[in-house]
Every structure is written in C-alpha cells, then in structure tokens.
Structure 1
Amino acid sequence: MPAEFYRRQILGLLIMAVVFGSVSQNSRLDFWITDFWYQASTHSFPWKDNYWLELINHKAMKYMIIISAICALFWGVYQRNIQLVVTMLLMGLGVLAVGILKAVSIHSCPWSLTEYGGSAAYIPLLTSLPAGANSGPGSCFPGGHASSGFSLMALFFLLYPLRIKAAWLCWLAGLLLGMAMGFGQVMRGAHFLSHNLWSGWWVWLTQVLSYWLISHCIAYYGRHSQRVLINGSA
C-alpha cells in the first residue's frame, strides 16, 4: 500500500473519532433511538428475548462469519495464499481488539441502566464514575457483536489494489453488515448506537494498522532473504 493510502485512512479515522465522540458525549441520539425499543409500562425491552432476533442476528450470523473465516484461513494456508491468510488474520484481530476493550469497559448496557429499569449509572464516554454511583456489570463498550460484521471490512485488503472498486464494495458490505448486526442489539437493549459506531471504528483502525505492520514485516523478510541468497551465491 502506498503511504498516501495510510495517511488518508488515519485522517478519516481521526475525523470519525471526533464525530463519534460527539455522539457519545451528547448521548441524546443514543437515548432517542433506544427509547423506541423500550416499553416504559413494563420497564423492559420487548425484543430482548425475541427468538428470531436472538437466533438469526445474535447467533447464526456470528457463527457463520466465524466458521467461514476459519475455513478461509485454513484454505489460504493450504494454498499458500499469503494475502488470504493475512486477510483472515485481520478479521480476527479487529474482533479481538473490540473484545479486549469491551472486557475492561466500565460502561453498562442500556438494559442495566437506571433509565431503563436497571440499577447502573449512565457514564458518558471519557468520564469517570461519579462518587457513590453504581457502574453495574460494565463490559458493554464498544459493541462486541457488531464487530463480527465489521470484521468483513478486512476483505478490502484481499482485493486492493488490483480490484479497487470490488475492494471498496466489500468494505461497504462489512460496514453495513456490522451496523445491521449492531442495530439488532440496539433493539434488544444490549447496546447504544454509539457502541456500534465505535466498534466499527476500532475494527477498521486495527485492520489498517495491522496490515501496515504485517506488510512491512513481510517486505523486510523478503529483502533480507534476498540479500542472504545473493551473498550466499557470491
């Protein structure tokens, strides 16, 4: 990848960080969307335990992506297709990054917040827990489930730069799938919209930086091996 590609990506990610940070800090959009799926009379989210939403969106889609990625990874190893192997690794690294951030997060899911019948306090992004407040179970930021869909954005690196249009279409498909899977969780009260926006941001940042690092390591190894061969044959 040319250096200009990485400069554009970092600039775009910085701009999106400002936009998503504003959404998270303001919180009105998050609550406005989540309120549509909350039933105040019963203090519950009617779609929380919906059978089809749980089966198709929360389980089937995630497992299909995981199984497909694992199969593609082994196929890439068998075929010695380094580009396919790297792409599948990028998918896993993006999900892993979100999973780690989510595990250490103090932010609780909407269904645990006092605003929606729970006992946990709402904590705006980049702020600490107020004295005496209950953070609840936490571990709800960014959106872990959406990261499975967003991971498909890594297919961009499988096709770029030989098929640029197809590469960007794959990136867009991963973006839309991640948002769709994430919105299913919004309907259940499991996440705010901003949780999913940040999930996509972290996945793409991880994939871009990881691809840069891996490609540079491969290039260095290739140059080093070539020098060894030249020196050995001299």
Structure 2
Amino acid sequence: MSLFNRAQLFGQLIALPTLLFTLLFSLFYVAGYDFSVAGFYYRLEGGHWALQQHWLLQDVLHSSARQLNTLMVMAVLVICIWRQLTASDQRRASCILLLSLLLSFGLVALIKKALPAACPWDLQAFGGVQPFNWLWHSPAPGAVLGQCFPAGHASAGFGWLALYFYWRDSSAARAKTALFGALLLGTGLGLVQQLRGAHFISHDITSAWLCWCCCSFIYAFMADLPGQNATQSSLREGYV
C-alpha cells in the first residue's frame, strides 16, 4: 500500500471520531457544560471535594491503577522484545501495540506540560483561588495553574484502544471487545478524577480523541494491511 493510500486510511479512521470530538468538546468546554457537571458533583459532595482524598478513589483507583498500567505497558514491552528475538509472526503487531501505547501516553503527557490548565479544585467556582482561563488565552500574571489538560489518568484507559488495532485484522470479535473495553475503562478512570475535582469532562474527551488518533496513525502507517502483499507481488511480477 502506497504512502498516499495509508494517509487516506488514516484520514478515514479519524474523520468521524474528530467530528464527534469537535461536537462534544464544543458542548462541554466552549458552551460551559463542564462547569454544570462539575458543579453537580461539587454540590453532591457538600460544597467541597469530599472525595478528593478518599482512599478508594485516590489510593486504589488513581495511584494503584497508574502503577498497574505501568506494569501492563512493561509486560507489552517484554512480549514485544521476545517476539522480535523468536522471529514470531506477531512481531509487527506487537510493535504496533507498543508504539501506540507509548505515543498515546507520551503525547497526552507532553500536551499537559505545554498547556498548563487549572483543575476544577483550583478554580474559584469550586473552592479554589484561581480564576478560569481559556486554553487559548495567556494566564494572568502570577497565576499558578496545574497540568490538568488533557486528562492523564483517563488516557491510562483510552490508550488501550491500541488493542482494537492489534486485533483489527485478525479477530473482529476481540477487536470489538477491546474497543468497548478501552472506552469503558477510560471513561471510568476519567469519572474517578471528576469526582475528586481533578478534571472536567472535556479533559477526558480530549484524551480519548488523542489516543484514538495516535493508535490510528501507528496502525495506518505500520500495519501489514490486507492486500498489501498481493499488491507488492503484482508489482514484482510486472518487473520480471
């Protein structure tokens, strides 16, 4: 498959998700429904983030979940190295899975550092001291903003959308299960942080879209796509 065709495939994979992301981001971030949902949680917890330090959310579903995710990525790394050394027929697929995970987590972390944004618990509207600042505006002098956009914790779930592409060409059932599983996991981890006051819904939506784009990119430009071998054989035969 030519580079142009792979670029077309990448475009096809992200077209609909990007449209959905744009609509949801506009609804929650631009139209302000982020504040409506966060305000609901804030009032539900008694006018303060009562669950911010709760052992289940902080220690188990945040800290321990992050550690588990790190261990899972390390396991993928070991499997990938093993398959390279043993000349497994899953070498390419394993590399795609590993690179998709690393790119997803890495890009989200990079953007978090490049676009400092306050968490809900930092904002005046939710008991904090910082005024709200749009992402495209420069922060006020002296403002101390957190690194809360996009959502890093939710990406620990959404990054595993990579498993959808891992099985996309070999098992439709497993790919579908991986797709919904990663979306459910990312949404659940995102909800944990929303309840703690750490993120808005738009932060999670952005992480989901970024992870999907990263996985789509790696798959479109690295996968041994169906029909590719036949095309290459035909080209070779034409030169004989």
TM over 0.5: yes
SS of alignment partner, residue 36 of structure 1: helix
Highest relative contact order (Cα 8 Å, sep 6+), 1 or 2?
Answer: 2
- Give the corresponding residue for 1:34: 38
Q: TM-score, normalised by structure 1?
A: 0.83
- Give the corresponding residue for 1:101: 111
Number of residue-to-residue matches in the alignment = 220
Whether 1:170 and 2:170 are equivalent positions in the alignment is no
Say which of 24, 43, 48 aligns to 2:29. Answer: 24
- Quick check: 1:37–1:187 contact (8 Å CA) kept in 2? yes
- Give the corresponding residue for 2:56: 52
- Quick check: 1:25–1:124 contact (8 Å CA) kept in 2? no
- Quick check: 2:99–2:218 contact (8 Å CA) kept in 1? no
Say which of 131, 137, 140 aligns to 2:145. Answer: 137
Q: TM-score, normalised by structure 2?
A: 0.81
| Pairs within 5 Å for 1:70-149 | 70-80=74-84, 81-82=90-91, 83-125=93-135, 127-129=136-138, 132=140, 135-149=143-157
> Residues 135 and 12 of structure 1: is their aligned pair in 2 closer, same or farther, counting only changes over 3 Å?
farther
Instruction: Specify every segment of 5 or more residues in structure 1 that has no aligned partner in the other structure, as ranges.
Output: 228-234
Instruction: Specify every segment of 5 or more residues in structure 2 that has no aligned partner in the other structure, as ranges.
Output: 85-89
- Give the corresponding residue for 2:87: none
- Quick check: 1:73–1:88 contact (8 Å CA) kept in 2? yes
> Identity of counterpart residues, as a percentage?
25
Whether 1:13 and 2:21 are equivalent positions in the alignment is no
Instruction: Quote the offset at 1:41 in angstroms.
Output: 9.9
Instruction: Quote the offset at 1:122 in angstroms.
Output: 1.2
Cα-to-partner distance string for 1:116-175 (whole Å, 9 max, x where unaligned) = 1212121234x3147x57643231100011101111110012111121232122011111
Instruction: Quote the offset at 1:43 in angstroms.
Output: 5.5
> Residues 195 and 41 of structure 1: is their aligned pair in 2 closer, same or farther, counting only changes over 3 Å?
closer
Instruction: Quote the offset at 1:9 in angstroms.
Output: 1.5
* Moved segments of 4+, more than 4 Å: 1-5, 39-43, 132-135
- Superposed CA RMSD: 3.0
